[in-house]
Structure 1
Amino acid sequence: MGCRTVTASGGAAPASGAPAGAAREPAPAALTGMRQALAYRDSRFVDFQDFDYPGGRGHGRRWVHIKRFRLPDGSPADRELLDALIAHPEFRDTYDGAGIWSEPRHGPWWSDRISSGTYQSVEASTALSTIDAWAAGGAPLPSDLDARLHAAVRTPVRRATSRYVLGALPDDAHHDYGPIHTAFHELVLVDRRTRSLALVVAADD
């Protein structure tokens, strides 16, 4: 498996299942502009293996990857922001160390099977209970890891003005070597007070 290079324009090659020579329709001008305005800021990575579990066990090869973006000018609706996120090159990440793909892959999924409608609005309490249950995994969290998750995940979830969870996708939405994670949880946090959007992926290998 190799890393795919993103073109300067951010264009994507047809999926491997697409007919040879098939061309993708150009993105509408409004969406292209939105994608450019949704500016990638930085990312944070929390690797549970970096923390001291008793006996060196209990981390379950878990990790959290957070990508942060600046919101565009104006007041686009949340669904427009989700569309812009899906169209952004940083969304084409399989979270397996392969980097950003030109093919439409996102985690274990074909990203062109994901739309803004795939995301479901959730309350902070629901998002937090999902993440905390996954993070514990039957083993108490080391205190420094718990503090890191509080700063990197729990606080942004509580402060967000809206939150979305990636909903269920059919089995045939898995790309040709997915699923590649034991668990894969995804949240999108929109914070209009700080004009930011965060893509949070919590998974284990």
Structure 2
Amino acid sequence: MAATLTHDGAAFVNFRHFAFTEPHAHAYRWLDVKRFRLPDPSVPDRHLLAALLAHEQFRDDYAGGGVDPGGTRHGPYWLRLVTPEAYASVGRDGAARLLETWAEQSGPLPDTLAEALRREAYEPLVAADSVLHLNGLGEDEYHDWASVHGEFHELVLVDRAARRLTLLVAADD
């Protein structure tokens, strides 16, 4: 069952734009959000992942270059090595803990940043029927300058009722 996703917007939450009480507490963290419309809510998760991986918007090195239709990198990984099998189903609670641990590693967040993360990450997470975590890749799959990322976390949220797939990338650079 082939699926085609339609890109339906994006958001970027840059921790540098929020007032922290400690200098450099943001540690150059950011959240990149890409939204897609589902063609059919009955399409299985693995087919949706294959459609996402084939989409031009997935060709992003997340190192400042943005989407590159001819790109060969995805975050710290070689794009060709990112497959649907590299994603594992994870519960909403586990995904929320992952995001909270990452976001709050240097202490409490300013209220305005917490609100932006609630809107862009936690609300779609709560609504998701499926939450998939890219965790089946390691250092063997890193590309030649993967070390630009301190941490790199990727979640795919599937909300069948809203016919939406959301790609969340939370990273440090």
Q: Does the TM-score normalized on the shorter chain lie above 0.5? A: yes
What's the TM-score, normalizing by structure 1? Answer: 0.80
Partner of 1:88: 55
1:71 to 38, 42, 67: 38
Q: Distance in 1 between matches of 2:136 and 2:42?
A: 28
Structure 1 residue runs of 5 or longer lacking an equivalent are 1-29
Runs of 4+ in 1 over 4 A off after TM superposition: none
**Does the CA-based 8 Å contact 1:86-1:115 persist in structure 2?**
yes
Q: TM-score, normalised by structure 2?
A: 0.94
Q: How many residues align?
A: 172
What does the per-residue CA deviation read over 1:132-182, in whole Å, with 9 as the maximum and x for residues that have no partner?
011001311011111111111111111101100001313231112213200
Structure 1 pair 50/130, CA: closer, same or farther in 2 (3 Å)?
same
- Relative to structure 1, the CA distance from residue 56 to residue 72 in structure 2 (aligned partners, 3 Å threshold; closer, same or farther) is same
Cα deviation for residue 79 of structure 1 reads 0.5
Cα distance in 1, alignment partners of residues 166 and 54 from structure 2: 15
Which structure has the higher relative contact order (CA within 8 Å, separation 6+)? 2
In the alignment, which residue of structure 2 is the partner of 1:113? 81
Quote the offset at 1:55 in angstroms: 4.4
**What amino acid sits opposite 1:64 in the alignment?**
L
Amino acid at match of 1:180: V
**1:27-61, Cα deviation, whole Å (9 max, x unpaired):** xxx65xx3xx3001111000111111114431111
1:161 paired with 2:132, answer no
Identity %: 42
> Structure 2 regions of 5+ residues with no counterpart?
none
Q: Is the 8 A contact 1:189 1:198 kept in 2?
A: yes
Could you say what secondary structure the match of 2:100 adopts? helix
Shift of 1:104: 2.5
Larger radius of gyration: 1
Partner of residue 151 from structure 1, selected from 107, 119, 133? 119
CA distance in 2, matches of 1:171, 1:53: 32
